[in-house]
Structure 1
Amino acid sequence: MQILNHEVDVKRGTRDILKDLVAVVNAVMRPTSPGGYRMEDEFPHLLGSDNAKNIYYIEEDGKPVSVIAIKIWKALLDSHAITVASLGSVSTLQEYRGKGYATSILERIISDLKAQKVSLLIVSGTRDLYKRAGCIQAGLIYQYNIRRESLPYSSKSKQFSIRKITRRQESAEWILDLYNMERYRFERDLSLMKTLLDSIWFRRENWPMELFEISENGFRIAYFIGYKRGSESRTLNVMEMAGSRHGIINSLGAIIDDMNADDILLRVHPADTSMIGILDSIGFSRREAPVQGTVRVIDPSSLLNDLGNVVAERNWRCFSDQQGENYKLHCESPTARIDAKTPSEITDAFFGTGDASMKIPLMFTDDLNFI
C-alpha cells in the first residue's frame, strides 16, 4: 500500500453531503444493488441523516472518495452500561485505493473516540486494517449445530406455539420488553427497535428471514429471529432471540419446519446458563468461537469505571495509567498478573479467553444492531 507522505484532511459528514457519502458506500458495497436495496436501507441507523456527523470521509478531486461510518450507543455487559462505537461501511473507491485513506480515517475516528471517553470500538470485520489499529478477535460464544431429527420436541406441541410476525413494527413494544430482560445486549429504545425491525434484513432477495412469536398456553414468552444464507440453504441461523429459553428450545422444531431447514446453527452466550443447561442436558455438543468481528478497548479508565463491579466479582484489581493518548493497564488476581501496554494487549486483558485475561463476556455483535 502506498501511504501518502503528507497529512490528509479527514472530514465529518453533514446532512448536506450525506447523499454523496452514501453513494461512495453503495458504489463499493452494493455496486449491482441486488433486489433494489441499498446500504442505507440495510443500515438506516448508521447511514441515516440523524447519524450524518458520525460518517467520516476524505475528499479528492472535489468529491468524497473514502468513507467510514460509526454509530455510538450504549451496550450492557451483565446489566452494566458502557459506551461503544460500532464501525462499518468502510469504503474507498477503486481508483483511490492504496493511498492509506482508510487508515487515516480510522486513526481520526479513534482519536475522536478517545476524546469522547468511549469505552469500546466494535468492528464488523477482521481485516488487517483493523488489526493494525489494535483490534482483535475476542469474547466467547458457544455454537451448537442441531439437526432437526435430534430435537426431542414435537413441532405440533399443544403447550407451545409459534406465530410468524409480518407487521413487525406493530410488535416492537413487546419485543423490546423481552429484549430488555437480556443481561448482555445493546441499549435500545422503542424508536430504534422499530427502525431495526423495519430494516432491509427482513426483505433481502434470496435471504429468507423471519420473526417468530413464541407462546406457552396462549401467553407470549419469547421471540426468535432466524435466517438462511440463501433460499436453497437448509441451515437456519439465529439473528436474535430473547425470552424463555425453555419456550425457545421447545419451539425450535416448529421454526425449523416453517423455514424449510434441516438443521440450525444456534449461538449461545456463555453467561446464558439456562440455555446451556437445557442443551447440555439433552446431549448436544458445542464448540467455542469468538464474537463476530473484532474489538478494541478505546478508554480503559472509562471501561474500568463502568465495569468495576464486574472486574471485582472476577477477583481482579485493576488500574489504568494514561500518558498522552496512550494507556497502560495493570491488573492482579490471586493467580495472575496483567501488565498491558498496547491496545491489543489491553483489549485481550478484558475480553480474551486466556489465563491472563479477566474473561469478561461481550454482547452479541451480530444481532439486529449489527453494522
Structure 2
Amino acid sequence: MAEIRLVAAEDMADAIRGSDAVFRDAEQISMGAAFPAVFSAALSQSFGAYEDGKLVSFMGLVPAVLRIGSARVPMFSIGSVFTLPDFRGHGYAGDMLQAVKEHVRDSGGALVYVSGNRSLYTRNQCHPFGAVDRYAIGPSHGEQLLQAGAGIVVRELSPTDWLHVHALAAARRVAYEQSVRELAELIASEAYASCLKLRHRTLVATKGGRVVAFAVVAMPDERGSKRTPFAVEWAGDTNALAALFGHTVASYGLPQLDVPVAWHEQELSEALSPVPSAAGRNTGTVHIADAERLFALLAPYWHTSAADDLPRIRTLEDHRYALTAEDGRTFELDSESLVSLLFDPIPSLPAALEARGAMRSQLPVPLPYAGGLNYV
C-alpha cells in the first residue's frame, strides 16, 4: 500500500529524474528546467506515491490565478504525471488525483486544468471544454497578412521591451495573472515547446516606435524538429498581431504557422479571417473543483451583464449539481453538463443546452487557452 502525500523538497530531484526518464530523450532539456514550478520545493504543491519511502509515482500540480473580466479565479494545473515502470497498474495515479482534488479545494481553488484527456481524468470529472479555431498560416497568407499591416514593424524582443510587453499581457481581458519576472521566466522555460523539440522566439510589433503587440512563437532550431511551428502566447493590437504572424512565416521561411485562437478572441479571428482554420477544443480537460466557490468568484464577471440576479449552484451527491437560473427554474446537471454549460459556446449536451436557455448571465465563461506559457 503506497503512501500518497505532497512531495518533500528533498525528493524533487528523484521526481525530476523519473519525469525525464519517462518524457525526455537526449535532445531535450530536463523537465526540471522546462517546468520549474512543477518541481519547486518553494511551492511544494506536487503529489507523489511512496513505497517504503521511495517515490514511485508523481503528479505535478501548479497553482495560478485566472483573470476573467473583473473576476479572479484561483486554479491549479496538473501535468508531468508518471509512474515508474515496475510500479504501474496499482492505481497510484487515481489515488493521487483524488488527493489532489481535496488539496485544491482546501487551498481555495475553483478550477483545475489537466494536460491529459485519458480515461484516468475523464472518469474523474475532468472534461473537454471550450472552443478553439486553429489557423494555419502558410507563405501566401503570411504575405497577405504582412501587407495588410501598414506601418507595422516587427522585430525580436529587446531588453528594453519587458515593461511594454508585460503591460500588453496585463491588459488582456482573459488571461493568467503574470508578473514581469514570471512572464520572462515562462518564456525562458519553453515548457510545451520543449516537449516538441521547438524553441521560443519572442517578437514585438511596433507602430510609430511604440510596442503595440507581442507574440511568443515556437519554432525549430538546429535539431530540425518536424513539428509544425505554433504561436504560444500573444497580446496587443489584433491587426498588428496578424502582421506579426505573417512576418514570422515570411522572415523565418516557415512552411506553416499554427495559431490557436480561443472563441472569445473574436477580433483576432476577424484579423485572421483570410487564413484557413479548423475548429477544435481547448487543450486537455478541465475539472470544476468547487462549483459554489466558482459561481461566487464569477460574480464580478457576471455583474457586467444586465441581469439583476445571479445564478445559484448547489452540489448534490454523485458529482451532480442543482442549478437555479435567474428566472427561478432549477436544473439538475452532472459534471460534464455543468462544464459544457459554463464553457462551451454551444453546449454539447441536452441538459446543458436546456439550462443555457434559462440563463441570463454572460455565458459561456471565457477561459484562457491551456497550451500557452502556463502549460503544465
TM-score, scaled to structure 1: 0.86
The amino acid that maps onto 1:215 is T
Could you tell me which residue of structure 2 aligns to residue 362 of structure 1? Answer: 367
Aligned-residue identity in percent: 18
Alpha-carbon contact 1:234-1:260 (below 8 Å) kept = no
1:38 aligns with 2:43: no
What is the DSSP-based 3-state SS (H/G/I as helix, E as strand, rest coil) of the residue aligned with 2:75? strand
Q: Which stretch shifts more, 330-339 or 251-260? A: 330-339
Q: Which stretch shifts more, 247-256 or 312-321? A: 312-321
Could you tell me which residue of structure 2 aligns to residue 185 of structure 1? Answer: 175
The amino acid that maps onto 1:255 is T
1:95 aligns with 2:100: no
Alpha-carbon contact 1:202-1:210 (below 8 Å) kept = no
Alpha-carbon contact 2:131-2:281 (below 8 Å) kept = yes
Superposed displacement of residue 144, structure 1? 2.0
Alpha-carbon contact 1:148-1:264 (below 8 Å) kept = no
Per-residue CA distance 1:312-357 (angstroms, 9 max, x = gap): 63868522224689662314367996421x3333322322331245
Q: Which stretch shifts more, 107-116 or 265-274? A: 265-274
Superposed, which structure 2 residues align to 1:6-155 within 5 Å?
8-30=2-24, 32-35=25-28, 37-51=29-43, 53-150=44-141, 151-154=143-146
Supply the distance in 2 between the matched residues of 1:314 and 1:156 (Cα, whole angstroms). Answer: 37
Gap change, CA 1:29 and 1:117, over 3 Å in 2: same
Alpha-carbon contact 1:172-1:197 (below 8 Å) kept = no
1:198 aligns with 2:191: no
Could you tell me which residue of structure 2 aligns to residue 221 of structure 1? Answer: 212
The amino acid that maps onto 2:155 is R
Could you tell me which residue of structure 1 aligns to residue 229 of structure 2? Answer: 236
Could you tell me which residue of structure 2 aligns to residue 3 of structure 1? Answer: none
Supply the distance in 2 between the matched residues of 1:201 and 1:45 (Cα, whole angstroms). Answer: 11
Per-residue CA distance 1:3-58 (angstroms, 9 max, x = gap): xxx6x42111222222122222222222x3424x210100112212222x211111
The amino acid that maps onto 1:189 is S
Supply the distance in 1 between the matched residues of 2:62 and 2:47 (Cα, whole angstroms). Answer: 11
1:255 aligns with 2:237: no
Supply the distance in 2 between the matched residues of 1:259 and 1:157 (Cα, whole angstroms). Answer: 18
The amino acid that maps onto 1:329 is A
Alpha-carbon contact 2:232-2:371 (below 8 Å) kept = yes
Gap change, CA 1:215 and 1:13, over 3 Å in 2: same
Gap change, CA 1:183 and 1:93, over 3 Å in 2: same
Q: Which stretch shifts more, 289-298 or 344-353? A: 344-353
Alpha-carbon contact 2:190-2:373 (below 8 Å) kept = no
Could you tell me which residue of structure 1 aligns to residue 164 of structure 2? Answer: 174
Alpha-carbon contact 1:234-1:263 (below 8 Å) kept = no
Could you tell me which residue of structure 2 aligns to residue 330 of structure 1? Answer: 323
Gap change, CA 1:42 and 1:234, over 3 Å in 2: closer
Q: Which stretch shifts more, 109-118 or 225-234? A: 225-234
Alpha-carbon contact 2:203-2:215 (below 8 Å) kept = yes
Superposed displacement of residue 228, structure 1? 3.5
Alpha-carbon contact 1:163-1:213 (below 8 Å) kept = yes
Supply the distance in 1 between the matched residues of 2:37 and 2:52 (Cα, whole angstroms). Answer: 29
Alpha-carbon contact 2:192-2:375 (below 8 Å) kept = no
Superposed displacement of residue 286, structure 1? 3.6
The amino acid that maps onto 1:344 is E
Alpha-carbon contact 1:296-1:344 (below 8 Å) kept = no
Gap change, CA 1:203 and 1:129, over 3 Å in 2: closer
Gaps of at least 5 residues in structure 1 are 1-5
Superposed displacement of residue 363, structure 1? 0.9
What is the DSSP-based 3-state SS (H/G/I as helix, E as strand, rest coil) of the residue aligned with 1:162? strand
Supply the distance in 1 between the matched residues of 2:22 and 2:225 (Cα, whole angstroms). Answer: 27
What is the DSSP-based 3-state SS (H/G/I as helix, E as strand, rest coil) of the residue aligned with 2:144? coil
Instruction: Find 1:299's aligned residue among 290, 304, 327.
Output: 290
Superposed displacement of residue 201, structure 1? 4.8
Alpha-carbon contact 2:165-2:211 (below 8 Å) kept = no
Alignment size in residue pairs:
357
Gaps of at least 5 residues in structure 2 are 348-352, 357-362
